[in-house]
Amino acid sequence: MGRGYIVDDSVEKYLVSLQTASLSSLTGLLIGQSLPQRDFVVLAVQTPQKAKSESDPSERKPVHSLCDIDTEWVTQHAKQVSWTLPGGLSVLGVFLITPPDLEKEAQNTLRRLVFSVEKLISKGRLWSLNEDDVSERVGLHICSKTRRAVCRTFDVQDAKSSAKPADWKYQHGVSDSWLVLKCSVELHVRFPTPDITLENLEKSTKVSLQKWGNQIESSICLVNGVRVSSDSELISGQKKNTKAFPSNLRAQILIHNVRKEVRTCASVQVCGGVLALRGVVHCRAYIHSNKPKAKQAAEALKRDIMNTVSYRTEMFFEDLLMSEADGERGILGQKQPLPQRVFASVPGAGFCVCDYMFPDEGTAEVKERLKETLDCDIPEEEVDLTQEVIAGELLLDLTDSLGGGGNPIDPLFNLKYICLCWTVGGNPHKHGNHTHTPHKLSRGCTSTTSRNPAIHTVLQCHLHLCSFYSLCQII
């Protein structure tokens, strides 16, 4: 038998509840946590169907042939879903429901979708794969008449790999006792650029973010104030299926001081402007409770930090491109209020998903987007708006108490939200005579063809240098 998948029984109920029109097919995503030994599947999400026309979005276009499945639509939805997932959770694969006469074609279709989804999701990520990362992704086919399920895996690192059989088992409460690591990261990252053209700005940002990502990857992670060995268990002495150990863990990230590097000569770069990302981001990672390793937990948390920063900068440049196409100018040179990360508990599960909320939005918009993206009804009262707000207040107080000198957080920047500042050839805190006009980033939607199926957002970080390490986060 091939790779094993432990699947929450709520996923089974969801898949059974999905109804397809006569002789039509349906696609969706499988979400969970991947381990070297096995995978845990804790959520399934169907792909929103395209509308037949923009004038009547309520009319859905059924898929009667597997050739009619829009690969780009499925992959864009997968990208949008990945942006809602905290550390430790990822898109593990694709499911496909077809009538009996299309079963023979299903495997090739699943293969195409699995490879396309993985290619888009992994594009531009700041972290590198390691020897513990699993390259197999799952493709689940379900017959709409008999409800028979066939599970296979595909090695996405090998384009010529063949499908392998996999073991698919349902289990109750897979994520109920998962551990969660939480931390809040204060960011102050500057991106020098030779000039203010959008092309150079985006290129310089990607290069600088990659360098910053390398620092995060090589950083030290403390759990409840203690540095634990990478090969040791996250919590020593725990017993399986017990709740005697804490489910919430406090984490800290210590970054090596770049000034420790020895330079033999000065490094000079011609700079026409500086893009600065500042503020506070709340990060978290969910880890299975069956003797989890400290290395796995730290890695999941670091990747969440890098992912949420990378996602939001990507969204920001998408917005700039759209604004430029519409003839709007003057966005650069302003302080941009960017959305805060909010979290919502998934009903019946032991984990949260996230969304990004703009200052002029409320929980109703968050609820609608999560319903549209994850096909999940989350009550407005379950949306937690406080994490990044609280983190900002705590971090500001901590920075002041450390007495690091200078003013690490400029009062122009409100820590309640993440802000972005663009400066041309000078002090990034001054904007000349330019009048600040908040510019709202675009928000995407997958339900109609007239809207971009990708959510838009951004973030920031401050690295406060302390002796040999930078205290990047604390809660």
Once rounded to an integer, what is the mean pLDDT over residues 309-321? Answer: 82
Q: What share of the chain in percent tops pLDDT 70?
A: 71
Once rounded to an integer, what is the mean pLDDT over residues 257-282? Answer: 73
For residue 231, pLDDT beyond 90 = no
For residue 323, pLDDT beyond 90 = no
Residue 248's beta-bridge partner residues? 180
Measured distance CA(383)–CA(341) in Å, rounded = 11
pLDDT digits (tens, 9 = 90+) for 355-372: 988 777 899 999 999 999
pLDDT digits (tens, 9 = 90+) for 291-309: 888 899 999 999 999 999 9
For residue 280, pLDDT beyond 60 = yes
Whether the CB-CB separation of 150 and 141 falls below 8 Å is answered with: yes
431 backbone dihedrals φ, ψ, rounded to 5°: -125, 20
CB within 8 A of 143, min separation 6: which ones?
97, 98, 99, 100, 103
Q: Which residue type, as a one-letter code, is found at position 56?
A: D
Once rounded to an integer, what is the mean pLDDT over residues 320-334? Answer: 63
pLDDT at 276: 80
Whether the CB-CB separation of 305 and 406 falls below 8 Å is answered with: no
Using the CB atoms, write b or e for 371-396: b if 16+ within 10 Å: ebbbbbebeeebbbbebbbbbbebbb
Tokens of 444: 């995407």
> Sorting pLDDT into bands at 50, 70 and 90, what band is 261?
low
Residue 464's beta-bridge partner residues? 471
423: alpha, beta or left, given left = phi > 0 and alpha = psi -120 to 50? beta
Measured distance CA(291)–CA(54) in Å, rounded = 51
pLDDT at 465: 26
Closest Cα partner for 139 from 161, 158, 166, 159?
166
Q: Which residue has the tokens 């639509």?
A: 73
Considering the chain, what is the average pLDDT of its residues? Answer: 77
> Sorting pLDDT into bands at 50, 70 and 90, what band is 268?
confident
Whether the CB-CB separation of 373 and 455 falls below 8 Å is answered with: yes
Whether the CB-CB separation of 355 and 429 falls below 8 Å is answered with: no
Domains of the chain, residue spans? 4-171, 179-471
Whether the CB-CB separation of 420 and 336 falls below 8 Å is answered with: yes
Q: Which burial class, exposed, middle or buried, applies to 325 when counting CB atoms under 10 A from its CB (0-12, 13-18, 19+)?
A: exposed
For residue 215, pLDDT beyond 70 = yes
Query: CA of 329: how far to CAs of 321, 326, 332, 471, in Å?
Result: 11, 9, 8, 38
Measured distance CA(333)–CA(179) in Å, rounded = 43
pLDDT at 23: 66
pLDDT at 337: 65
Averaging pLDDT over each range in 42-46, 274-278, 375-379, which range is the top one?
42-46
For residue 101, pLDDT beyond 80 = yes
213 backbone dihedrals φ, ψ, rounded to 5°: -60, -35
CATH architecture of 4-171: 3-Layer(aba) Sandwich (3.40)
Q: What share of the chain in percent tops pLDDT 90?
A: 43
pLDDT digits (tens, 9 = 90+) for 397-451: 344 434 343 333 333 333 334 444 543 333 333 333 333 333 333 344 444 333 3
Whether the CB-CB separation of 422 and 334 falls below 8 Å is answered with: yes
Whether the CB-CB separation of 151 and 106 falls below 8 Å is answered with: no
Query: CA of 301: how far to CAs of 129, 143, 149, in Å?
Result: 15, 38, 34
For residue 467, pLDDT beyond 50 = no
pLDDT at 15: 96
pLDDT at 334: 61
> Sorting pLDDT into bands at 50, 70 and 90, what band is 329?
low
pTM, rounded to two decimals? 0.80
> Sorting pLDDT into bands at 50, 70 and 90, what band is 59?
low
Residue 131's beta-bridge partner residues? none
> Sorting pLDDT into bands at 50, 70 and 90, what band is 198?
confident
Whether the CB-CB separation of 2 and 165 falls below 8 Å is answered with: yes
Q: Which residue has the higher pLDDT, 216 or 441?
A: 216
Q: Which residue has the higher pLDDT, 74 or 104?
A: 74
Closest Cα partner for 20 from 126, 137, 144?
144
